[in-house]
């Protein structure tokens, strides 16, 4: 793999990430800010008509109907103290931050060794790339990482993971095409224990057209891992694509009902006008949003920070 680009260094602070996050959310921000300014263009007061227009605006940004209604109710209760666009945006920021803050507890330390993360999600959401970035980030923080290539139905996924593992300098366990995914996961756990690995990241398939089979396969992987390490997997990370908006929310509900999701990584926030889906997901599900992705580079995947997000959104 001598042709591969060197692994980028981890940024020392989040200022650069905030700038990229702000750029990535520019379509959503433009939609929200411009239209909120226009709501007050004729020095209107907050009345039922204005609240209805604002609700429609929030739904357009894919915040979701229920979350939009919650926000409108909050704004309505404070309408007497809001007389311009700036005050309305401040009130929205405060309420959104409250919604995000209650659903995004700080990440727990990686207490177990090996700490097993099973990564799930439909094909095309950026699952394989997210695994590669996580492996590189953990490796950069001096953790010994092992990847399990258990999406055995897509040769391209395995090839991609091999490249990421090589770049990050981490181990990978893979079997032949069409091998039993649970067997790959089991072998990876055995190898991780034998080699003293700190973290195991297990890739899985995401073929929604065989939904029942897929969910049964994921349950089998989960059971098989638990046979080797009773309290594992320690984390089930669902990768969602922000550009799919409300579809991402329905995917989250489906996977959570089937296997139980403990954390979410939301990719492709850059360039979407649907950045409000972050608020919708955090409000509708009792699952913490752990990572957000805004680009292809390793440093473009970061732990979710509600304050940074809300500042970037407005």
Q: Mean pLDDT lowest for which of 13-22, 158-167, 176-185, 242-251?
A: 13-22
Phi/psi of residue 119, each to 5°? -105, 125
Which tokens hold the place of 263? 């954390």
| pLDDT value of position 185 | 97
| pLDDT value of position 13 | 47
| pLDDT value of position 5 | 46
User: CA-to-CA distance for 223 and 314, rounded, in angstroms?
Assistant: 44
- Mean pLDDT value of segment 39-61: 85
pLDDT in tens, 173-227: 999 988 999 999 999 999 999 999 999 999 999 876 567 788 999 999 999 999 9
Please state, rounded to an integer, the average pLDDT across all residues of the chain. 87
Indicate yes or no: pTM above 0.85: yes
- Measured N-to-C along each axis, helices 65-77 and 85-103 cross at an angle, to the nearest 10 degrees, of 130
Which tokens hold the place of 233? 């997997």
pLDDT in tens, 252-305: 999 999 999 999 999 998 867 778 888 888 888 878 899 999 888 888 899 999
């Amino acid at each position: 793999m001598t042709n591969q680009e060197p692994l980028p260094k981890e940024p020392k602070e989040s200022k650069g990430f905030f700038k990229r996050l702000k750029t990535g959310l520019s379509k959503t921000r433009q939609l929200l800010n411009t239209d909120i300014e226009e709501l007050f263009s004729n020095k209107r007061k907050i009345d039922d008509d204005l609240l209805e227009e604002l609700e429609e605006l929030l739904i357009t940004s894919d915040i979701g109907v229920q979350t939009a209604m919650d926000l409108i109710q909050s704004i309505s209760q404070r309408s007497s103290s809001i007389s311009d666009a700036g005050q309305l945006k401040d009130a929205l920021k405060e309420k959104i931050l409250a919604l995000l803050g209650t659903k995004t507890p700080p990440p727990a330390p990686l207490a177990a060794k090996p700490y097993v993360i099973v990564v799930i999600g439909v094909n095309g959401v950026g699952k394989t790339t997210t695994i590669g970035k996580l492996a590189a980030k953990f490796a950069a923080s001096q953790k010994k990482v092992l990847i399990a290539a258990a999406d055995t139905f897509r040769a391209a996924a395995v090839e991609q993971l091999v490249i990421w593992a090589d770049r990050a300098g981490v181990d990978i366990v893979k079997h032949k095409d069409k091998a039993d995914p649970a067997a790959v996961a089991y072998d990876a756990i055995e190898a991780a224990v034998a080699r003293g690995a700190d973290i195991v990241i297990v890739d899985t398939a995401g073929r929604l057209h065989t939904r029942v089979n897929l969910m049964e396969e994921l349950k089998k992987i989960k059971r098989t891992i638990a046979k080797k390490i009773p309290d594992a997997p320690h984390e089930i990370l669902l990768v969602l694509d922000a550009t799919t908006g409300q579809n991402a929310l329905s995917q989250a509900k489906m996977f959570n009902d089937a296997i139980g999701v403990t954390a979410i990584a939301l990719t492709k926030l850059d360039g979407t006008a649907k950045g409000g889906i972050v608020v919708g997901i955090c409000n509708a599900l009792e699952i913490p949003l752990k990572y957000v992705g805004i680009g292809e580079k390793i440093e473009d995947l970061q732990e979710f920070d509600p304050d940074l997000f809300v500042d970037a959104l407005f």
